[in-house]
Amino acid sequence: MSVMTTQAATVELRVLETTDLHVNIMDFDYYKDRHTDQYGLVRAATLIREARNEVINSLLVDNGDLLQGSPMGDYAISRVMDEEMIHPAYKAMNRMEYDVANLGNHDFNYGLEFLNKAISGANFPYICGNVFNATTGQHHFTPYLIKTYDVTDTSGAKRSIRIGFLGLLPPQILSWDYEHLKGRVIVQDIVETAEQLVPAMRAEGAEIVIVLSHSSFVSEPHKPMAEQAVNGLSQVKGIDAIVFGHAHKVFPGPDFEQDVNVDVDKGTINGIPAVMPGFRGNHIGLIDLTLDNHAGYWQVVGSQSEARPLTDANHKPRTNADLDLVAALMEDHEGTRAFIGQPIGKSSSPIYSYLALIQDSLGIQIVNDAQMDYAHRMASDHAELRGLPILAASAPFKAGGQQDPANYTEVESGELTFRTVVDLYPFPNNLVVLKVSGSDLKEWLECAAGQFNQIDPDCTSPQNLINDHFPTHHFDVIDGIDYQINITQPARYDEHCRLVNSDAERIEALMWQERPIAEQQHFLVATNNYRAYGGKFVGTGAEAVVYTSPENNQNILADYIERKSHSDGIITVVADNNWRLVSLDNPNVDIRFKTSPEDKVFRFIKDNARYPLTFLHKNNNGFSVYRINLLRQNTLP
C-alpha cells in the first residue's frame, strides 16, 4: 500500500462565525431598559455550543465591529482605560474559546490606544492584514495566523491540518476615523492584500486558507479600495472559505438571490464557501467544509453554509441565554444600566422615530438643533465659523433599519437620561463642520433622497415608498434650509451614493430664508466625522472640513439637553418641518409605508402624522404596513 493511500483521509470541519456584535453581549435592550430575545452574544453562545456538539471538528472566529455600538461599549471606555478592566466582550468571548478574531471599522472609533488596550484582554489572537504603520510601512497588526489543528477524520483516525486565517477590513477607516488615524496608519486594498498574503501563507505551510473579511458582497467587479470586496476576494487563488460581515445582512439569504455567481442554496460565491451572519448576534455563521487529501494535499471538496438565526420565522426565540455568561457579565450589565440612567433633563413631549423616514422628526430635530447651537457658540472663538450661514445634517439612525421592527427611537416625555442621548445618537462620532456650496448641498440631499423608491403617480397597484436596500443612516436631513423631495422622479444616486441617473432631480424648492439657494452660495454644515471625512456624499471629504471639534456628538447633545432643561425648566423640541414630500394629484395611487408594530404608534400617528395614514396589516417581518395619502388637498402645509 502506498504512503498516499495510507495517509489519505476525509475530514469534516465546521467553521463558526460571529460578526458585527457591536457590544450587544447581553440579551438586553439598554435603550428600552428591558430584556430582548432577538439578539445578544449570550444567546448566540447557546447556538454556538449546540452547533459545536453536532460535529467532531469545529473552530470559532469573530469578524469585527465588536467594541462599539451599544451603551455597554460606551460604559466600557473609561473603565478599560483607567481601571485595568477586561472589556466585557472578552469576559464572554474568552469563556467561549474563540480561535481568532479580525478587526472591523468601528473598532477604531475610540482611537488606537483604546483598541490596543481593549484587545489585550482577549485570550485569542487578533489579525488584520491590510493596515500598516504609516512611519515604518510594516503591518500594524499581526496580518495572519497559521495554526495546526488536530482533527478526527471520517474513519476516526487523528489527523493534523495547518489552517491559515487572514483578516481584512475596509480601507475607508482612514476617512471614517480620520482624526484618530491620520499620519499613524495607512490601509491597502483588500483584494490586493489577499493576492500578496495568501501565496505567502501557503508558502509558510497553510494547507487551508480561511479569510475573515470585514467587508461585504456586491455583484459589481472589484474596484481598487472598494469598501465591499468579497466578490473580488472570492476570485483570489488559494482562498478556501470566506467568513464576512460589515453590511449587517444575512448570507446565504434572500437578499442575494439575484446576484450573479452566487449559490444561495449551497452558500457559495464564485464557488467559494462563504457566510455572513447578520449583526448583534441575531445569527451565527456556519460553514461545513469537507476536506480531502487523496490528491496528496488538503483541499475543500464539498461545503454547505448556513446563517443560523436566534429566532424562528415568527420572531420567537429558538434558544435561551447561556447563564454562565450572564453571571460573568452581571457587574458590567448593571454598571451599564446605571451609566446610561444618569438624569440630564426633562422633555415636554415624547420623541419617537416611527415616521422619521416620511416627515420631519423630533429625534433628528433635536440632534441638529444641538449641532447648530454648538457651532454658533464656537463661532466667536473660531474665525473659520464666522460669516456664513450654519446648517446641520443628521439622519434617523434607528428607524426600522435592517428589517428590524423593534429598531426605533422611543424616548418618553418627562425625565431624560443619558439613555436618551445614546438612543437618539448611538455613535461616538465627533462634530465636524464643512464648507459647502449650494450646488453641493443639493447633491448631498439628492443622495439622501435615494431612500425613496420611484412612485408612478398613474399606477393604482401597491407601491412601496421606502427602498429597503438604502441604509437609514444615509437619509440625511439638513436643517437651516427648506426643500421638497419629488418621489415621482427616479433616484439620482443609489444606496452607495453613486450617480445612476444624471438627468434625475428629486430635490425641489431648495430655499434659505425664503430665497432660492444659488449654486455658488456657501454654507457651513455641522455634522459628524463619519459623514464629513467619508467623501461619499458630494460636498464632503477632508478638503471641505473647516473645523473639527474635540467633543463627540453624544456629549454635545447631552450638554444641549442639560442646558436647555436648566434654563427653561424643560426642553421643548419642535419640528420645523423644513422638508416634505411633493404632493400628488391622483387619489387612487396606493403608496405603502411600514413602521413599528407597537400599539402606541396608532396614537402617535393620529396626533403627529403630516399625511393621512391608513393601517392595512402586519407583514411577515413584523412591521405594521400603512397606506400613505399624498393627495395635495390632504397634506399639511
Q: How far is CA 216 from CA 199, 212, 223, 256, 275, in A?
A: 23, 11, 14, 11, 10
Render pLDDT for 600-622 as a digit per residue (tens, 0 to 9).
Answer: 999 999 999 999 999 999 998 89
Residue 523 to residue 180: CA distance in whole angstroms: 26
Residue 426 to residue 31: CA distance in whole angstroms: 10
* Residue indicated by cell numbers 397597484: 461
Cis omega (within 30 of 0) for bond into 252? yes
- In this prediction, residues 82-99 reach a mean pLDDT of 94
Asked if residues 575 and 360 have their Cβ atoms less than 8 Å apart, the reply is: yes
Asked if residues 145 and 165 have their Cβ atoms less than 8 Å apart, the reply is: yes
Within 8 A by CB and 6+ apart from 176, the residues are: 105, 108, 529, 530, 533, 534
Grid cell in block for residue 375: 457651532
- The pLDDT, as a whole number, for residue 2 is 32
Q: Is 172 helix (H, G, I), strand (E, B) or coil?
A: coil
Say if residue 4's pLDDT is above 50: no
Residues of the chain with CATH 3.90.780.10: 342-457+471-579
DSSP conformational letter for 46 = H
> What sign does the dihedral 246-249-255-259 (CA atoms) show?
positive
Say if residue 578's pLDDT is above 50: yes
For the chain, the distance separating the N- and C-terminal CA atoms, rounded to the nearest angstrom, is 88
**Residue 633: band (very low, low, confident or very high) from pLDDT cuts 50, 70, 90:** low
- The total of other beta-carbon atoms located within 10 Å of residue 404's CB is 22
- The pLDDT, as a whole number, for residue 3 is 34
Residue 533 to residue 389: CA distance in whole angstroms: 21
- The total of other beta-carbon atoms located within 10 Å of residue 183's CB is 7
Render pLDDT for 418-454 as a digit per residue (tens, 0 to 9).
Answer: 999 999 999 889 999 999 999 999 999 999 999 999 9
Render pLDDT for 261-320 as a digit per residue (tens, 0 to 9).
Answer: 999 999 999 999 999 999 999 999 999 999 999 999 999 999 999 999 999 988 899 999
| Region 3-335: CATH code | 3.60.21.10
Average per-residue pLDDT for the chain = 94
Within 8 A by CB and 6+ apart from 558, the residues are: 344, 418, 421
Residues of the chain with CATH 3.60.21.10: 3-335
Q: What is the dihedral of CA 353, 357, 358, 359, to 10 degrees?
A: 50
- The total of other beta-carbon atoms located within 10 Å of residue 79's CB is 16
- The pLDDT, as a whole number, for residue 547 is 92
**Residue 83: band (very low, low, confident or very high) from pLDDT cuts 50, 70, 90:** confident
b/e map 495-507, b = 16+ CB within 10 Å: bbbeeebeebebb
| Region 342-457+471-579: CATH code | 3.90.780.10
Render pLDDT for 151-198 as a digit per residue (tens, 0 to 9).
Answer: 999 999 999 999 999 999 999 999 999 989 999 999 999 999 999 999
- The pLDDT, as a whole number, for residue 635 is 55
- The pLDDT, as a whole number, for residue 5 is 37
Render pLDDT for 208-256 as a digit per residue (tens, 0 to 9).
Answer: 999 999 999 999 999 999 999 999 999 999 999 999 999 999 999 998 9
pTM given for the model: 0.87
Q: Which helix (H) or strand (E) holds 60?
A: strand 58-62
Within 8 A by CB and 6+ apart from 449, the residues are: 485, 491, 492, 506, 507
**Residue 1: band (very low, low, confident or very high) from pLDDT cuts 50, 70, 90:** very low
Render pLDDT for 342-394 as a digit per residue (tens, 0 to 9).
Answer: 999 999 999 999 999 999 999 999 999 999 999 999 987 888 888 899 999 99
